[in-house]
Amino acid sequence: MPQRPYIPPFVFGILALICLSIAPYLVFVYAGIEKEMGLAQKIFYYHVPSAFSMFLGSFLCFVFSIFYLWKRDKNCDLWAACSAEVSLLFGTLVLITGAIWAKPIWGAWWVWDAQLTLTLILWLILAAYHMLRTYIEDPVQSARFRAVLGIIGFLNVPFIHYATKLWRTHHPEVVRGEEISLPPDMKMAFFFCVITFFALFFALLFKRVSLAKARDELESLKTEI
Amino acid sequence: MQHLEYMTAAYIIIWAAILLYFLSLSKREKAIWEELRELRATITKNNTP
């Protein structure tokens, strides 16, 4: 009888909880307040790691989608779908927190800037991926369509990352090449938040995979009966 | 405390969204495992001579 796969979500969950209890101290106490943007700049500590987590999810979806098209392994489709769902969550947070930051700094919730628009396109692709899973009844056809969409979605990520170099944008450039243009205290808080969000991403991903596997098992048991 | 309200709103939304997603996963997982347990018990009962 298969057991509940507790260990990975538990380990990443504990790691995320530890990081989450330290991160607020680094963000609100250790890192200084930026002179021009004031407290709105602190949104950046969770906004950018959310974007990195969205990219990570899209990357995993891309890899598992390629493997699915190559091997036709149902497990690869399951991992790709779970990665896309968690990526969609972080993508939603990126768009919302970005708008909240933009209002006091740019004076508008949204501008049709290259980086913002490309991020919105990636979010729409991830949303479409989720809808395909829900609405196409044939599981094989749905998995094939989604795999193609998962690959297309990730191809958008390098354009989002390099948008500030490729086009004239309003968006601030935090990562310049391999350098982070921040004072040491802010850099430390930023890197810690990136680790925290990655731990959180994997904790949620493993939990989502565990749920999907349990649902598959339930479906196959029902079919047997 | 310039832009405190924007920072607070952003942090509340982030934590609320992550917490709600986590709770929704836990709730769905619990329901599925409960159903699986019942189904296995039924199968075992039916297979017992």
Can you tell me the ipTM of this complex? 0.87
Query: Is residue B10 included in any domain, yes or no?
Result: no
A64-77 pLDDT tens trace: 999 999 999 999 99
Range of the domain at B37: 16-49
Mean pLDDT of chain A: 88
Query: Is residue B29 included in any domain, yes or no?
Result: yes
Token reading at A72: 């036709």
Within its chain, how far is the Cα of A132 from the centroid?
19
Query: Is residue B27 included in any domain, yes or no?
Result: yes
A176-196 pLDDT tens trace: 555 667 788 899 999 999 999
| A213 neighbors A74 (Cβ within 8 angstroms) | no
pLDDT band at A1 (very low <50, low <70, confident <90, very high): very low
B6-21 pLDDT tens trace: 989 999 999 999 999 9
For residue B28, list chain A residues with Cβ-Cβ distance below 8 A.
211
Coil, helix or strand at residue A170? coil
DSSP string, A123-164: HHHHHHHHHHHHH---HHHHHHHHHHHHHHHHHTHHHHHTHH
% of chain B with per-residue pLDDT over 70: 96
Query: Is residue B11 included in any domain, yes or no?
Result: no
% of chain A with per-residue pLDDT over 90: 53
Gyration radius (Cα) of chain A, Å: 19
Query: Is residue B45 included in any domain, yes or no?
Result: yes
Q: Quick one: pLDDT at residue A179? A: 61
- Shortest Cα distance from A146 to chain B (angstroms)? 22
pTM, full prediction:
0.89
A128-138 pLDDT tens trace: 999 998 888 88
Query: Is residue B38 included in any domain, yes or no?
Result: yes
Q: How many CB atoms lie within 10 A of CB B13?
A: 16
Query: Is residue B6 included in any domain, yes or no?
Result: no
Coil, helix or strand at residue A175? strand
Angle at A172 between CA A166 and CA A178, to 5 degrees: 70
For residue A101, list chain B residues with Cβ-Cβ distance below 8 A.
6, 10
Domain count, chain B: 1
Closest partner residue to B32 (CB to CB) among A93, A104, A214 is A214
> What residues in chain B have their Cβ under 8 A from chain A's Cβ atoms?
1-4, 6-7, 9-11, 13-14, 17-18, 21-22, 25-26, 28-29, 32-33, 35-36, 39-40, 42-43
A40-89 pLDDT tens trace: 888 999 999 999 999 999 999 999 999 999 999 999 999 999 999 999 99
A114-124 pLDDT tens trace: 889 999 999 99
